[in-house]
Structure 1
């Protein structure tokens, strides 16, 4: 049964995962300009980047300067990605301007279904990740945890190991959830986190239905699926139809992964495209689509190349006073297609296919 949500949480990951795959030469001023544009879109939570070691992520070497210099927008919670205690301590110096404490109390565990990716991305084997579960659960129990969250990485397939079966996905979920349940801590949230773009809508639907049937205590589902093979907007649609409320995206589809073999091609669903889809389906997002499109234009200027979104190029569906004029001249280039936000001057001089002559109508 479909259970379309009334509202969703779309987390735009442009400043972190988007910029970490782009040039390290992008200036702090340009990044601050992009962060400012994001703050105008209606986003409720914005990550300013990651407090990562510059050896592995040189694009984030300037994160402290960004943290010091950016001007917060009212009503927006700013956070950052941290991967260890050192990163947490660096980011926490800027509290409450940057709040990395909000997720500190979330009791969670993550295991990769792909052992190769675990070794490449985390420098740990899958077996080591599984072996660490007992200590994670014990620490949560000692802290008085009342619920837990789990995530499995690359659940649908691997560029290094091939496709994974439904039985493999369910077995890993069973193992992880079983550890928490044995400690008397219910798992209420599951994340499917994918870097290698093996998701397909029928596989996502199969997995979500199985989770819902097997673990009714799971009330929150989160999808972070990369889009290198173009199927993720359809996979997100299946998630929406099954009541998923948490999705990760980025402006223009920016993003990627240096560990999976696809680089920038491992981008995300464009934030503006998913927001447009949700709005057309009557689902609230909190975003202003027009300001999102302007933020995409800023992002393209910052990174120095076109991005991969669709709504940012064609505009939202025109209605009422926004309908295109019937006598509009030819529109061919992307620059001309931007008339919906730049005005008719961008297609000035083009020939017009529309004839007003009544004789033409009688011909």
Structure 2
């Protein structure tokens, strides 16, 4: 195999503080979240998903988002992102000084209907105001395509559906689009197909892979995405973030595992793996659970 075809550098988007923590049952104090974001900033991430401006009624864990954004020490050059699903959320995100607004749409019609009682097309149309306001204020706009590689309700998701959602999100003016395996069912062949479909509608340099490790396939899927030229990946420190649809399933791929892979492939990330391990051990310790496999192995090796 010709390894020269893999990207020489990738961007890792750290989603632990938002996507990772939002499903945690125990309330995590703002100061713990602030410390986590600061440790991640110090590790050199180019992009950290730090907050979510959604109704606290739906996601109580994110009620401290404004406090977290106000309390973090911002690293020059790091983009701090937040989810903002409506104009109320956008106004709060703007006031909090976010650099990038994140919106989302599902590639599965069944998922869209079950989750938000409307079609995919309608759900994306609802983001038009947010998208226009984001652009007007000179902020970056990113979108996630959830259930792009499988759905808990309809099972298989056709690649044509992925392509259609990507086209709709492109039309809203998105700078980056994430292809997300929300329930972690994908294997490399599916990743090739979904990414190739997305690349027909959006420049490859703006597409990212967001893989969950439910079936232990996330690292293999990242490698598959690298092979087709994807150079942005989302991951969560310590593998934070459960999957709400699969009992006992793990959630996001762990950042430590992804960085260990990239290091082994000689792909640059600009991120200090040791500092990420420290961040992972910190938050895992706070939550009272083990961190990621690579994180635990590296920590054990250095006698942490």
1:241 to 217, 227, 248: 227
- Asked if the contact 2:101/2:142 (under 8 Å) is kept, the reply is no
Q: Decide which structure has greater helix share.
A: 2
Cα offset for 1:266? Answer: 4.5
1:71 to 47, 51, 73: 73
Cα offset for 1:23? Answer: 2.9
Unaligned runs of 5+ in 1: 316-336, 343-363
User: Greater shift after overlay, 194-203 or 218-227?
Assistant: 218-227
Match of 2:57, SS state, is coil
Corresponding residue for residue 11 of structure 1 = 13
Root mean square deviation of aligned Cα: 3.4
Cα offset for 1:217? Answer: 5.5
Match of 1:20, SS state, is coil
Corresponding residue for residue 154 of structure 2 = 161
- Asked if the contact 2:48/2:78 (under 8 Å) is kept, the reply is yes
Counterpart CA distance in 2 for 1:264 and 1:194 is 17
Unaligned runs of 5+ in 2: none
Cα offset for 1:150? Answer: 7.1
Provide closer, same or farther for how the CA distance between residues 29 and 129 of structure 1 changes in structure 2, counting only shifts above 3 A. Answer: closer
Corresponding residue for residue 170 of structure 1 = 160
- Summarize deviations over 1:206-255 as a string: whole Å, max 9, x none: 3334555x558554321112221111110001111221011110011111
TM-score for the superposition, normalised by structure 1: 0.70
Counterpart CA distance in 2 for 1:94 and 1:282 is 37
Counterpart CA distance in 2 for 1:82 and 1:215 is 24
Provide closer, same or farther for how the CA distance between residues 86 and 76 of structure 1 changes in structure 2, counting only shifts above 3 A. Answer: same
Cα offset for 1:64? Answer: 2.3
Q: How does 1:36-51 map to 2 (within 5 A)?
A: 36-51=38-53
Counterpart CA distance in 1 for 2:196 and 2:63 is 42
Corresponding residue for residue 190 of structure 2 = 203
Aligned length: 296
Match of 1:10, SS state, is strand
Corresponding residue for residue 286 of structure 2 = 302
TM-score for the superposition, normalised by structure 2: 0.82
Cα offset for 1:283? Answer: 0.7
- Asked if the contact 1:190/1:218 (under 8 Å) is kept, the reply is no
Corresponding residue for residue 292 of structure 1 = 276
- Summarize deviations over 1:252-293 as a string: whole Å, max 9, x none: 1111344xx236724111101111111111111111011111
Provide closer, same or farther for how the CA distance between residues 209 and 64 of structure 1 changes in structure 2, counting only shifts above 3 A. Answer: closer
Corresponding residue for residue 352 of structure 1 = none
Corresponding residue for residue 355 of structure 1 = none
Match of 2:302, SS state, is helix
Q: Which has the larger radius of gyration?
A: 1
